[in-house]
Structure 1
Amino acid sequence: MEFDYAIAGGGSAGSALAARLSEDPKVTVCLIEAGGEGKDLLIRAPLGVITMLPGYGKFNNWAYQTVPQPGLNGRRGYQPRGRALGGSSAINAMLYVRGHPSDYDGWAADGCTGWAWDDVLPYFRNSERNERGGDRLHGADGPLHVSEQKSVRPVSQAFVDACTQMQLSRNADFNGPEQEGAGIYQVTQFHGGKREGERCSAAAAYLHPVMNRPNLKVVTRALVSRVEFDGRRATGLAYRKGTDEMTVAARREVILCGGAFNSPQLLMLSGIGPAAELRQHGIEVRHDLPGVGKNLQDHVDFVLGWKTRDTDVLGLGPIGAWKIVRDIARWRRDGSGIVASPGAEAGAFVRSDPSQIRPDLQLHFVAALVDDHSRKLHLGYGYSCHVCVLRPHSRGEVSLASGDPSAAPLIDPKFLSDERDAALLLHGAKITRRILEAPALSPYRLREVYLDGVKTDDELMAHIRSRADTVYHPSGTCKMGLDERSVVDPQLRVYGVNSLRVVDVSIMPNLIGGNTNAPAMMIAEKAADLIREAAAA
């Protein structure tokens, strides 16, 4: 098989990129994805995430683990990643958040020309079909449905009220003129038409509607094993489908869209990365590129939880089970009810100190008692609130466990290895605890889980180290930039070789202050233009 472009990975970025490039009928595109088509009911029904996120059976989920983390008492962290067309947008909480404009201005100030806020905003708008309509900051005609939540739990509204009682302002749009404040998240969920209330993954938005294009071939359940080269030029992808070893040739470019873990893994398997590490695994060095797999950044997160007598939340009990069964029919009828809930219904962006010029903490309020990524269950009913450090100082890495493409990479976020992150997370947990103790939530509070009786900073820090983990935003491992640790240039071309790009959140030089799904699609939208411009030159 030969195409103009061969894309490895059909996640949020890969789905968007394949759809955009194949809009030109004169261009041929092949997309190869390790998982399935991403159309099953558990993906389409937002509440289905509770069956996929824990990773039992690795259904639509790579379900990675980290190496032991000294900053987390030697525990292995859990890293769920989507394995289907749509990638992690098929198993996430659907929250539509772009980050703070200054994040992108910082990229440009560090030499990534063309990536300032004013440069990337048009691509966010191109992507978006916002239920509120279009304006200077939002798009109304893009493929990605961005919706209001239809059935917000009363306890989530009470959380927003509690934030205002703690002097946080209300914010109806975290992607509006100001990010700071508390409110209800908008979600990537279909609005209008027969699919009302279904998850709008990147694949559902961009790729599924165009799968019948004659110039687009999508290969699923196929694991890319390496990039093929002719000298220093990337010429295609080798992949395994079942027991068959196959290749696809690329006349113009090969593009990696595997995300923060799989894109650097694939580069290293192809001989591009830190030379000494590659030789340890018997991999012939094609180009010594020390930054591959380095610069891993993730939002380290701590969850506080409360038991409640309120049964209008997700919980383990006969009333909760009956409501879910009842609401399945409601969701299929009009897209509303608890089955349509993202779980994390409300949230806030908070400055830890008035001297901060932008929020440095993010809260996700969940109308359920979440413990260890829903892998540890509690009988009864509860609610919880995540607090994460938005711009961590800790830097980790991704490396190879072996030269076998089917082996999971070694993931070392080095959580809380920088004491500034530990201090901020402690401060954020104290702020969150005060919010959860505010009067607005008093009708719902029964007892605090884990922290009941915890009074001192040392006691709270001990709990943080025993239970903190990711909130699912790894990035930065194929850093965009101009320094010696950069992997791609501002056009996303891999240094030292030709006709090879990386297009996903691994190119982020610094992690943005917010959720990473919307930025992944923005990166793909911009990359499509960069690739078209290169072809026309």
Structure 2
Amino acid sequence: MRLLSVLAVAKTASLARAATTYDYIVVGSGPGGSPLASNLARAGYSTLLIEAGGDEADNPTYRQMGNFIEACNDEASRWDFWVKHNDDEKVDALYKHTTWDTGDGTFYVGLDPPPGAKYLGIQYPRAAVLGGCAMHNAGVSSLAQDDDWNIVANLTGDLSWEAPKMRKYLKAIEKNEYRPAGDPDHGYNGWLSIITDDPSWAKATNTTGVRILNKFAEFLGQKASDEVTLLSQNDILSASPDKDYTSSLYNMALHANSKGERSTPGDYVRATLSDPAKYPLTLKLRTLVTKVLFNESSTTPRAIGVEIMEGASLYKADPKYIPGTKGPVSQVFASKEVIISGGTFNTPQILKLSGVGPKAELEKFGIKVVKDLPGVGERMGDNYEASIRGVTTEPIPAGLTTSIFRTPNAPTKKRNIYAWCGPFSFEGFWPGFPDNRPNQWECALVQIGPKSQAGTVRLRSADPQDTPDINFRFFKEHGDQDISELVAATNIMRETWKAAGAPALPIQELHPCPGELGKAPCTDAMQKEYTQLQAYSHHATSSCAIGADSDPLAVLDSKFRVRGVSGLRVVDASAFPVVPGAFPVVPTMMLSQKASEVIIADAKGA
């Protein structure tokens, strides 16, 4: 079934256009690239969409949202990036999920590797598949804070980025399935289905899960009697002007349909390919882009196409990669523009391999400099994530308790934590994650508005099959403040646990304060040390950011154009100047919709 699906897509694509020159080439089919390529083709422009992975549309591991853990671990799409959290490898080695290659085809995860094991680092899986990481994530749909959009307007003077004007892009892509029809804040005819969790569990009064929920509502200043109403009617994707300042319980939104099936940008691509209108979209799967091609005959170099290597599992992040494997190399051309949507790790790598990036770094690897652009691969950011986890005496019957709130020590009046609690385990990524235990209970925390953006994506070599050197440099800037906010949120979560009562109590906390809840030693100092070493992340952004004309590290202008060259844009999460809210997947799709509008308008005005 899956093979037939891939062949059908390939056949449709080849019928759409067989030439080697297109109006547009889009590199990468994730939340940035897939919507953009589809929109360009629907506007009548011949468009080639290139994806290094395959298509898993008919694979239930990916289609059913509830299987996201299996999807994230699946070698059919998984690319393993082994990243650093710090400059000091000895500090990173204290991260409890540090991974080592044992040399016998297995991994060791932990703090005491066997003799001879090769240090790999911290696993950061990405998805090489049509639809990108929207195909293996948990589907959490969240919006950027207003100031995350306004910063672009403030930096560039482009007022089209002002937050109230960005809402139309959500409405354009959204097929809302949880709000009453006609809600002016939402869209109902887009390609992205969005649902919310079933909150009916909260109706079971005086259960351990509801008692925890009651305590949480108390902390938020909300009435416990209003819980079911809050969970069922409080819109987590609200357009309210005070939403960024409102601490509340919510019902988690997911990019899935009412059947629990994942909704992704890849669906939009397949719909575009199969549409009777025969839009001029070509999809090229299992194809690795090795560099952008430039015409340098004029003062400003112009992107004219890309070099590609065809074949499956050609990138060394792919666990199925066989050393020495290469594929046939060829070139394809774009008469209008090349758009890179490879994601926060691969987009800066592709630009650098193409000669666009910091001059000294390019010359180090013998790469001809097309444009010295110092900011490529710099100032990467991410949401810090942490959790408090324990084991209860008896299972706690509950669904997810989701909230967005402000800790008392937040530096502004805006909320700074997105949290969800329930009988699950999530503590970051490592081969084979998670570590499930009977009667587990956890609150996972995502920090909104991290203060540090000191991460980098730099080349290891000039080999396009090699992975880049990725270092997040956690907590390098204003680290004490960020760590303190996470600890404050953890303390709040712990207090809600104490309200569970019998038969859940006593709870054995596993981390950050091991031992019986309320009796084990647990100071803020202990928790800060634990958080600094064990925080994790998986929402990388900003490695090729939009910025001001006066900023030497700005990579893009407000129209996504790469500075200093022509015919080349970047449309993906790497373009955000700051991390957008708590989960960047939907903001990236909104960004892609805006880019579509901008690029089509430029084409019509040319």
TM over 0.5: yes
CA contact (8 A) 2:457 2:470 kept: yes
Select which of 15, 35, 40 maps to 1:21. Answer: 40
- When normalised by structure 2's length, the TM-score is 0.78
| Partner-residue secondary structure (3-state), 2:147 | helix
Task: State which of 309, 322, 325 in structure 2 corresponds to 1:240.
Answer: 309
What is the CA-CA distance between 1:312 and the residue it aligns to? 7.7
Structure 2 CA distance for partners of 1:441 and 1:433, relative to 1, 3 Å: farther
How much does 1:201 deviate? 1.7
SS at match of 1:529: helix
Match for residue 218 of structure 2? Answer: 165
SS in 1 for 2:362: helix
The answer to which of 411-420 and 232-241 deviates more is 411-420
Given that 1:236 and 1:254 are in contact with CA atoms closer than 8 Å, whether structure 2 keeps it comes out as: yes
Give the RMSD, CA atoms, in angstroms.
2.4
* Aligned 8 A contact 1:313 1:382 in 2: no
Q: CA offset at residue 410 of structure 1?
A: 1.2
1:447-486 to 2 correspondence within 5 Å? Answer: 447-450=508-511, 451=513, 452=515, 453-470=520-537, 472-482=538-548, 483-486=551-554
In structure 2, stretches of 5+ residues that fail to align are 1-19, 94-120, 203-207, 223-229, 312-326
Give 1:6's aligned residue.
25
2:107 is equivalent to residue 62 of structure 1: no
In the superposition, relative to structure 1, how do residues 474 and 159 fare at CA in structure 2: closer, same or farther (>3 Å)?
A: farther
Alignment gaps of 5+ in structure 1: 315-342
Superposed, which structure 2 residues align to 1:2-401 within 5 Å? 2-24=21-43, 26-39=44-57, 40-53=59-72, 55=73, 58-67=75-84, 69=86, 73-75=91-93, 76-111=121-156, 113=158, 114-131=160-177, 132=179, 133-150=181-198, 160-169=213-222, 170=230, 172-176=234-238, 177=240, 178-179=243-244, 180-191=247-258, 196-204=259-267, 206-212=268-274, 213-231=278-296, 232-242=301-311, 243-308=327-392, 345-353=400-408, 356-373=412-429, 375-395=433-453, 396-401=455-460
Aligned pair in 2 of structure 1 residues 404, 58: CA closer, same or farther (>3 Å)?
A: farther
Q: Sequence identity of aligned pairs in percent? A: 27
Q: C-alpha distance in 2, partners of 1:409/1:156?
A: 44
How many equivalent residue pairs? 499
Structure-1 separation of matches of 2:266 and 2:407:
37
CA shift at 1:347, angstroms?
2.1
Residues 438 and 248 (structure 1), Cα distance of their counterparts in 2 relative to 1, 3 Å cut: farther
Q: Partner of 1:94: helix, strand, or coil? A: coil
Shift of 1:381: 3.2
CA shift, 1:474, in A, is 0.7
With the length of structure 1 as denominator, give the TM-score of the two structures: 0.87
Distance 1:313 1:244 in 2: 55
C-alpha spacing 1:503/1:366, structure 2 compared with 1 (3 Å): farther
State the shift of 1:532 in Å.
Answer: 0.7
Residues 253-279 of structure 1, C-alpha deviations (whole Å, 9 max, x = no match): 000111111111110110000010111
Correspondent of 1:433 among 469, 494, 501 = 494
> Would you say 1:512 and 2:580 are equivalent positions?
yes
Distance 1:214 1:125, change over 3 A: closer
1:21 partner amino acid: L
Q: Which amino acid aligns with 2:248?
A: G
Task: Report Cα offsets for 1:289-330 as digits up to 9, x if no partner.
Answer: 00001110001111111223556889xxxxxxxxxxxxxxxx
Per the alignment, residue 461 of structure 2 pairs with 402
Q: What amino acid sits opposite 2:462 in the alignment?
A: G
Give the Å deviation of 1:355: 6.8
Once the two structures are overlaid, the 10-residue window that deviates more, 299-308 or 173-182, is 173-182
| Partner SS, residue 380 of structure 1 | coil
| Structure 2 CA distance for partners of 1:270 and 1:159, relative to 1, 3 Å | farther
The structure having more radius of gyration, on CA atoms, is: 2
Distance 2:286 2:506 in 1: 46
State the shift of 1:366 in Å.
4.5
